Structure 1
Amino acid sequence: MVNHSSPADFLLLGFSEHPGLERILFVLVLASYLMTLVGNTLIILLSMLEPRLHSPMYFFLSNLSFLDLCFTTSCVPQMLVNLWGPNKTISFLGCSVQLFIFLFLGTTECVLLTVMAFDRYVAVCQPLHYTTVIHPRLCRQLVAMAWVIGLVESVVQTPPTLRLPFCSHRQVDDFVCEVPALIRLSCGDTSYNEIQMAVASVFILVVPLSLILISYGAIARAVLRINSATAWRKALGTCSSHLTVVTLFYSSAMAVYLQPKNPYAQKRGKFFGLFYAVGTPSLNPLIYTLRNKEIKRAFRRLLGKDVDSRES
């Protein structure tokens, strides 16, 4: 690997010891990024242009799509440059911005997925009161709350991480500037940062996931009391996409931020971090569109196909 860095630069190692693997990853990451751009942009456009999708569920989904677009764009272009050539450098400013955005948008997505679970809970367990409870003003407030919590978390955790005494080689053993990788790069005492990351992980990962599981526990009890097969399918169709997205996002995020301190876990964490940053944002649109008849119909109408007359 050629080192073109200045003393203030970081080196994002990725899998630089396996150049052949990096070329394969370049193709996969580029394909995933293009899927992310197309899929999430399409969901946002459909949610805006199709009147039948002007509902809380699609309001939250379009916010999730916007989050995923920003999340991947904050790291994938730099990642593609590093995967393609020998120059793995990123400036201190670039690393700082990437870290801030990663924490900001990652935390916001954790909270937003919890909000979406609450929306699904009301839709299944209190369907007659859904429009009264999940009204437009509350939707805007919940989304604003998710963004504010994400911003506060990033403002609190980014500065202490960047003030760490980094080792002179400045080699970040990861694809992006994330808190665990930067803590490992420090040659000083990281006790405070590790405690801060552990506390943040509990509040940002464990607590929201627990609330999501409580919501789905209540949904499961409500579904088990349903005798109608049609109602069963409708309830499961309402929740299955969100539950799949939650599983993919939280499993990869927890593998990155709650991993044990050993070389095997850190090596495995790089794969999970890559999937967390690139894979889940590209899969979310597929998960929501493949099983969602309303989005499929809206897409056909956008293309000018007369869906309503054919269905009638």
Structure 2
Amino acid sequence: MSLFLVKTRPVQRLYDRVSEASAALVISSYSSSFGLASRLLAGPVRGRVRNIYALVRIADEIVDNPDLSLGVESRARMLGWLHEDVRHALRTGYSANLVVHAFARTAIACGITDDMIDPFFASMQMDLETSTHTPETFDRYVYGSAEVVGLMCLRAFLADRPAGPERDAEHDRLAPGARRLGAAFQKLNFLRDLAEDYDLLGRAYFPGLVVDRFCDADRDRILIDIDADLAAAALVVPDLPPSSRRAAAAAHATFAELAARLRATPAAEIRRQRVRVPDAVKVRIAAGALYGGRS
């Protein structure tokens, strides 16, 4: 044993802090939009949500890494190792992988269990095995890759509520909206990343869509479905705890803005390049959520 590890408890607390700092670095490096919205979360909730999304980001990196030397079999093995590490960390509270350690601490504290984690990794595995989807596999993919992440975040939002029947009832009431917000975000990503997913990764997520014949009618059909998800999610945002309500409102408004921009963009242009919400607009949306959600 190293001399430097004699004081186990202080070192453990330091390791926890370093793991959370690592998760925060992953998020700030990969997602400016998430970083902006997360600032509207109360401090403890912000850390939990960052820990969740950092793991999601690492798994996504494994399946989408552009390094062509990493074949499908290598990626599948890496994804499996990550999944097993997460499952082990949930039972021990510890991982040598800093991001997994941060996630496990949050999962244990918030009640995130295998029934959310396993579908997530199953969807990530689908990206390595499936390039097109049926309606059934699409629904399963969206559930595992996005809806369960919404449910994980909901657990993080409610973790400061006293445990008991009231919190359980609140969770059950808010869960459908959390799922629909996650689904809307995922489908919006599929639509705006249509060109990159198809041309670089060989994936066409939307069932029945022929990407090379993508037209305005296809765009509108997809957006009608997304609009329904956003409408369902909007019903529960006002009922979230104040510690997370403003951030959720900002995320919802940003997704709605992206949907509007996609609807105003010709399908041929969506097929060629990524549509985005400008940073100045994101800041304006965040400010509106901040000052409109003080309660």
Larger radius of gyration: 1
Flag the structure with more relative contact order, 1 or 2, with Cα contacts below 8 A and sequence separation at least 6: 1
Provide TM-score, normalisation by structure 1.
0.37
Provide TM-score, normalisation by structure 2.
0.39
